[in-house]
Amino acid sequence: MKNRQLILTAAMALSLQAAFGQTADIYAGEAFRFSEIPQYGTARFRALGGNQAALGGDASSIVSNPAGLGFYNRSELSISPSVVVNSATGNYIGSTLTDSKTKPVISQLGLVLAGGDRNYNSRWKRSVFGITYMQTNNFSNRFSFSGRNNNTNSSFVQGFVNDANSSGLTGSQLDAEYDSRTGQANSLPGAAYQLFLIDGTPFTNSQGQEDSRAPYRRYDANVPRDQRNTYEANGASSQWTAAYAGNLDDKFYIGASISLTRLRFNSDNVFTETVVGGQVFNSNTQRDQLSVRGSGLNVALGMIYKVAPTLQVGATLTTPTWSQFQETFNQGLSVSVKDPNLPIDRNSVDVFPSDFNYTVTSPLRASGGATVFLGQGAKSIGFLTASAEYVGYSGMRVGTNFYNSQSNTDFRNDVRSAIQRTYQNVINFRAGAEIRVGMMRFRAGAAYMPDPYVKKLDNIDRTKLLVSGGIGVRNERFFADIAGSFNAVKSAFTPYTLPNSRDYASAEINNKLTTVSLSVGTFF
């Protein structure tokens, strides 16, 4: 039986339905994390705040609005390396720690092949084909937090005590959760029992053998603990996209694309409690590792219409991405022993890895926008552009074929309910401007992304305001653009939970995300 927070065997008397209730919020969160797209594209479009609904002539159009390819009258090859810098501050029980992580990536690689002009008498003027690699989200992150917890009821080990007490298992049954040949356990309570993190009440069973049973307890229960957590994640979501576009009478541009998506996500979380003044243990540690791999498919259709020589409007519709994911979850416990008389055989025990396969349907996306040019043709000095993007987060879905038919249905319905009570549909707004001075281009932009949560989770407003800017140069054969974008994100991280909310704490994490991108390309 699989549960991201706790892996329990059937002997612990939990039904599939109960476990689904515990995991529904986790997989609702997975669907959101893997569906969010803050910003992507070439340096030019990043500098404009990600505005891509009513602009063309850029390789980013292949993904955002394929109709924009119809503006090309010559072929292009481009590449965009980027550097992602994530600085994070963790606030926990009155203490603050700062950490950071820097990740170089290739955020875009594209080829555009422009067809020749059609027959002069034809209304269909030009057709263009494009293919690109695009990184749509980067999961690189690292944060730490620590603090002295003086609440003696508060310890991640207390969760194992509670589970062992509620299960009704004896010590010998918890021993059976452990495989001495591999040094692994079937459950966290089973691993904790092997390390003497939990200890039962002695009794003599019906066979006259010495055993233990509830109530279970933990050692060093009445002293404070210095708690420290370190979290690190890496990976990205990306896609290869092929698109075709053309234009009618040089006024109406239409295009379509198909994308094959790929996702890699790895996280490693280590939580350590140093026992202050303990007699049995110096410290206890839990480590959780998650690895997710997935692939999917989506389709987009877009159009751009020139209302006047200085005004054009555009719209695009992107289907949900239908993805399949495979994950592996690993957990382990380790201890540093202070009492030399503790009859312990080893200092660490891992839980058997847990594998799970599931599907995710991401939100439907639709956007519309307008661009106003400042002047016409060669006399244009730039443009202003703005767009609105609808993202249907409440329509996300998660399913699996991992269980039997009824259990698969229960899992799907429970996660669907969790999504609908947690996430809401949003409309993101973006605006940008470009000023042209000879071969030089000066750009600035902003994006406003409302909080997608129905209620403020952990009393934190997760609205995002992303600001960006950049410069570029281009001539008849070559272009180079550089852009920087910045946004601050607040979140919360709870290392463990207990029945009484006063007995555990959450850390507030403040991430400052900076991305610097360089795009270079040549026309041919």
Mean pLDDT of 409-413: 95
Q: pLDDT tens for residues 288-304?
A: 999 999 999 999 999 99
pLDDT at 119: 58
| Confidence label for 147 from pLDDT (cuts 50, 70 and 90) | very high
pLDDT tens column, 36-94? 998 899 999 999 999 889 999 999 999 999 999 999 989 999 999 999 999 999 999 99
The span from the CA of 253 to the CA of 369, in Å, is 14
pLDDT tens figures, 151-180: 999 999 999 999 999 988 999 999 999 998
Strand ranges, E, within 93-198: 95-114, 124-138, 141-149, 178-179, 184-185
The predicted-structure confidence for 126-146, as pLDDT tens digits, reads as follows 899 999 999 999 999 999 999
Residue the block writes with tokens 């690993």:
330
Residue 93 token pair: 């029980």
Q: What percent of the chain has pLDDT over 70?
A: 94
pLDDT of 6: 38
How far is residue 284's CA from residue 275's CA, in Å, rounded to a whole number? 8
Model confidence at 30, pLDDT cuts 50, 70, 90, reads: very high
* Locus of tokens 């498919």: 297
Task: Quote the distance between the C-alpha of residue 349 and its chain's center.
Answer: 29
Structure token digits, residue 35: 């569906």
pLDDT above 90 as % of the chain = 85
List CB contacts of 456: < 8 A, sequence separation 6 or more: 462
Higher pLDDT, 121 or 306: 306
Greater confidence (516 vs 168) lies with: 516
Lowest mean pLDDT across 110-119, 193-202, 437-446: 110-119
The b/e string for 169-202 (b: 16+ C-beta within 10 A; e otherwise) is: bbbebbbebbeeeeebbbbbbbbbbbbbbbbbee
Non-local CB neighbours of 406 within 8 Å, separated by 6+ positions: none
CB 329 within 8 A of CB 287: no
The string of DSSP codes covering 179-240 is ETTTTEESSHHHHHHHTTSSEEEEEE-TTS-EEEEEEEE-TTTTS-EEEEEEEEEEEEEEEE
pLDDT for 120 equals: 60
Domain boundaries, the chain: 10-155+218-523
**419 pLDDT above the threshold of 80:** yes
**pLDDT for the residue 221:** 93
Residue 460: pLDDT band with limits 50, 70, 90: confident
pLDDT at 333 over 60: yes
pLDDT tens, position by position, 5-27: 333 333 333 333 434 445 899 99
pLDDT (tens digit, 9 = 90+) per residue, 214-264? 999 999 999 999 999 999 999 999 999 999 999 988 899 999 999 999 999
Which CATH architecture fits 10-155+218-523?
A: Beta Barrel (2.40)
pLDDT category at 379 given cuts 50, 70, 90 is confident
Global pTM reads 0.90
Average pLDDT over residues 400-420: 94
The pLDDT of 320-343, averaged and rounded, is 96
Supply the mean pLDDT for the chain: 92
Please say if the pLDDT value at position 368 is more than 50. yes
Cβ neighbours for 405, distance < 8 A, ≥ 6 positions apart: none
